[in-house]
Amino acid sequence: MRALVSTSELVDLLNDSRPPVLLDVRWALGGPPGRESYMAGHLPGAVFLDLDADLAAPPGAGGRHPLPRPEDLREVLRAAGVRGDSTVVVYDGGNGSVAARAWWLLRWAGHSNVAVLDGGYAAWQEEGRPVTTEVPRPQRGDIDVRPGGMPTVDADGAAALAKDGVLLDARAPERYRGETEPIDPRPGHIPGAVNAPFTGHLDQHGRWLPPAELAERFRSLGVHQGAQVGAYCGSGVTASSVVLALEVAGVTDHENPALLYPGSWSEWSSDPARPAATG
């Protein structure tokens, strides 16, 4: 299954005899809470999953959004109705950054048949497609979670990648440069990392750029097909969209995906012994 699906493609999937499991993962750092947005309206049949409670472990030494324990993620996905043979489509408010985290987690868990809705809820609503406030009661799924389907690096691995490969920092330029740091312990970036703001994946309408344009963007950042490449951000969430964008661009593929540093800057910056570059 392609990593991105359009709204019209999703309509076709929903009309299939075996429709996909829909996951609504809307979340914003400054609020409002995603569940409030979900209760106000969502795609028919969509199940809400919360980034903080369902798609991450509690914050701690591993950062603000550490990977969830496999057994916890298995319970969340089964309660949402995900089966081992399910097609899963995930969406967020629009830019795909949080949906990419859910996409990445399902792939990490060994479930390959998953895609992100291009444009998310915003695109669906703009096109006048049906929404509802009815909360579904899905039949319990049977998915197994087998960690390791997507590669990760720890802090030392991220440092090595920044030196010997290409490590992309998905945060806003002012955070990368260290001009501001609203949430993590220290400003700056991992030495050698290249700034690749996740918002650069989108066009002016909030849709993902075509593969050729994404590939050109990554080439301009020093990433070429076959290169050793990875991504990080503030807490490992928006960096997932860089991993997704690299696959959409054809720079990486399903068999050889980009690396993700899950702890990201929130973990790195909590250790005063680790250097922080600025500028």
Strands (E), the chain: 4-5, 21-24, 47-48, 88-91, 114-117, 166-169, 194-195, 229-232, 259-260
Structure tokens at 23: 């996951």
Q: Which amino acid is at 178?
A: G
**Residue 167 neighbours by CB under 8 Å, 6+ apart:** 158, 161, 190, 192, 193, 194, 229, 230, 231, 232, 261
Which candidate in 233, 244, 248, 259 is catalytic?
Answer: 233
Is 233 noted as a catalytic residue in this protein? yes
Closest CA to 243 of 183, 188, 201, 277: 201
Other Cβ atoms within 10 Å of 132 Cβ, number: 12
The separation between CA 50 and the C-alpha centre of its own chain, rounded to angstroms, equals: 13
Closest CA to 53 of 39, 35, 41: 35
Closest CA to 141 of 86, 97, 212, 208: 86
Which 3 state secondary structure label does DSSP give 217?
Answer: helix
- 63 forms beta bridges with 60
Structure tokens at 134: 């009815």
Structure tokens at 26: 């809307």
Structure tokens at 77: 């996905």
* Residues involved in catalysis: 233
